[in-house]
């Protein structure tokens, strides 16, 4: 093993994952980031938003898929489309508000080119001036070319590349995670509720995703948080129920055996579920009346199955992290090679007791806020990795934990302490990063 590879002789982008370790360039190299924007984020099905954010025709939200600004907009016929937020004329952003209603058409603030809500060109002022020119033969006259998009149980995904894996094939059984979330509502309906928290971290987006499916670090990294919670809970009178926040913090002290037994499962195309048999979320007190309301809607068997699924996290490759209980949705958005935005949302199961949304909002505030005493230690670690990996030394980052041999058969289960989720992630990453 040659560990003294000079920095500049790193392998090609799709060779940066070595089966059980990954080259630091995946986190550090701006050219790799450029390729991710061009290939990975274009070819994968990326979560854009939720149908509940655009209830009426003309309603829109704006966001980004890596470097591509997009508009997610409700059509007059009720469909949701995802359009590039970039005028076909000179590239101005058509819409600059985070959300709103566009009325009947989209109108560029620069030269007033207009588009229907589906992105097709409506009007080009001074059209006569383009006669005899090549405009109509160019892409500029083709309107806002909508992205391939699919909405599943309200979750809207888009693929910027015109070609790629069909939606159902890409996600496979992972769609059951979305079903589980939606079925937590007696009406089968979710609603993004209570606003979103936004945390920016000076690290590469993949460090954050790996951490989402890492069960080994909480006991060490978050010791200051769980130990403090444990000390506070010591003196708590037995008859008084613990406040929600203590109940949510204490399990961060769970030991390695707990996570090992909770297990993990990886799926084709980079997805995974950490905690297939349970997690730090499995021990919360039930909410009065909730189970009964679900049983009325789903029947006893399905209710039992839905409520039993409480993973630590599910990751829908590349950048969507979901909890099932609480109903937390995180988008991990790459801003730059060393800068990542995490957007944290709460999904309200419509028709369920209000306590469910409150618990989710409490958890998000406690664990994902920029002021979270749990997030602080993760952010610290990521930011030191981003700074320290640059310097001379071993350029390879270990993903060896519980690597026992060939890992081709999918889906596959492993112990919750395995780094199989990360290896599986990078296998999918390498596949999408390959040249055509």
Partner 1 sequence: MNVSNATREALAEFIYEEARLLDEKRLDQWQDLFTSDGVYWIPLGCDQQDPVDHASITYEDRLLLKLRIDRLQQPRAYSQQPASRCLHVLQLPRLEGADGRMYRMRTPMIYCEARGDEQWTYAAVARHELVPHEDTFRIRLKRVDLLNGDAPLPAIQLFP
Residues at the interface with partner 1 (CB under 8 A):
193-202, 221, 223-225, 227-229, 231-232, 243, 245-246, 249, 341, 344, 346, 354, 357-358, 361, 364-365, 369-371, 373, 375-377, 379-381
What is the nearest approach in angstroms of partner 1 to the Cβ of residue 69? 15
When the beta carbons of 171 and 382 are compared against partner 1, the nearer one is 382
Instruction: Give, as one character, the DSSP assignment of residue 11.
Output: P
Q: What is the largest CA-CA distance in the chain?
A: 84
H or E element, residue 377: helix 375-388
H or E element, residue 69: strand 68-74
Instruction: Give, as one character, the DSSP assignment of residue 17.
Output: B
Query: Distance (Å, rounded) from C-alpha 411 to C-alpha 215?
Result: 19
What is the nearest approach in angstroms of partner 1 to the Cβ of residue 1? 31
> DSSP letters along 251-297, please?
GGG--HHHHHHH-EEE-GGG-EEE-TT--TTTTPPPPTTHHHHHHHH
When the beta carbons of 233 and 412 are compared against partner 1, the nearer one is 233
When the beta carbons of 201 and 399 are compared against partner 1, the nearer one is 201
What is the nearest approach in angstroms of partner 1 to the Cβ of residue 217? 11
When the beta carbons of 31 and 227 are compared against partner 1, the nearer one is 227
Which residue, chain included where needed, has tokens 């602080």?
376
Question: How deeply is 170 buried, as exposed, middle or buried, from its count of CB atoms within 10 A (0-12, 13-18, 19+)?
Answer: buried
When the beta carbons of 135 and 219 are compared against partner 1, the nearer one is 219
What is the nearest approach in angstroms of partner 1 to the Cβ of residue 49? 16
Q: Of 405, 395, 397, whose CA–CA distance to 422 is shortest? A: 397
What is the nearest approach in angstroms of partner 1 to the Cβ of residue 223? 5
When the beta carbons of 68 and 357 are compared against partner 1, the nearer one is 357
Structure tokens at 369: 């806020």
Q: Of 191, 175, 209, whose CA–CA distance to 327 is shortest? A: 191
> DSSP letters along 153-205, please?
TTEEEEESSSSS--HHHHHGGGHHHHHHHHTTSTTS-EEEEEEEEEEEESS-H
What is the nearest approach in angstroms of partner 1 to the Cβ of residue 246? 8
What is the nearest approach in angstroms of partner 1 to the Cβ of residue 31? 25
When the beta carbons of 274 and 374 are compared against partner 1, the nearer one is 374
């Amino acid at each position: 093993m040659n560990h003294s590879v000079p920095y500049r002789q790193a392998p090609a982008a799709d060779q940066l994952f070595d089966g059980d370790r990954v080259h630091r360039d995946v986190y550090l190299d701006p050219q790799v980031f450029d390729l991710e924007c061009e290939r990975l984020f274009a070819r994968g099905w990326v979560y854009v938003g939720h149908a509940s954010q655009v209830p009426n025709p003309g309603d829109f939200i704006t966001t980004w898929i890596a470097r591509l600004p997009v508009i997610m907009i409700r059509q007059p016929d009720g469909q949701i489309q995802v359009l590039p937020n970039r005028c076909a004329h000179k590239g101005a952003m058509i819409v600059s508000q985070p959300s709103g209603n566009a009325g009947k058409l989209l109108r560029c603030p620069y030269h007033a080119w207009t588009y229907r809500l589906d992105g097709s060109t409506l009007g080009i002022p001074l059209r006569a001036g383009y006669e005899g020119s090549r405009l109509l033969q160019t892409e500029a006259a083709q309107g806002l070319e909508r992205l391939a998009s699919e909405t599943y149980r309200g979750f809207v995904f888009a693929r910027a590349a015109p070609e790629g894996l069909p939606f159902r094939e890409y996600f496979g059984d992972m769609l059951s995670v979305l079903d589980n979330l939606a079925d937590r509502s007696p009406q089968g309906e979710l609603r993004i509720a209570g606003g979103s928290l936004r945390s920016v971290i000076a690290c590469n987006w993949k460090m954050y995703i790996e951490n989402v499916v890492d069960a080994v670090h909480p006991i060490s990294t978050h010791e200051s948080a769980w130990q403090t919670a444990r000390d506070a809970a010591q003196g708590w009178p037995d008859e008084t129920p613990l406040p929600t926040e203590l109940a949510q913090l204490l399990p961060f002290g769970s030991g390695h055996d707990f996570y090992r037994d909770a297990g993990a499962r990886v799926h084709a195309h980079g997805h995974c579920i950490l905690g297939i048999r349970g997690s730090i979320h499995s021990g919360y007190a039930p909410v009065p009346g909730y189970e009964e309301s679900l049983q009325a809607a789903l029947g006893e068997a399905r209710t039992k199955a839905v409520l039993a699924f409480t993973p630590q996290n599910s990751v829908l490759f590349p950048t969507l992290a979901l909890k099932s209980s609480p109903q937390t949705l995180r988008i991990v958005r790459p801003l730059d090679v060393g800068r990542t935005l995490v957007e944290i949302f709460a999904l309200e199961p419509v028709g369920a007791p209000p306590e469910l949304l409150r618990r989710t909002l409490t958890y998000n505030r406690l664990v994902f806020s920029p002021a979270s005493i749990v997030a602080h230690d993760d952010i610290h670690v990521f930011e030191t990795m981003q700074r320290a990996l640059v310097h001379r030394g071993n350029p390879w980052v270990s993903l060896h934990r519980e690597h026992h041999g060939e890992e081709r058969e999918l889906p596959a289960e492993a112990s919750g302490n395995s780094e199989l989720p990360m290896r599986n992630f990078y296998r999918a990453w390498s596949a999408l990063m390959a040249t055509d």
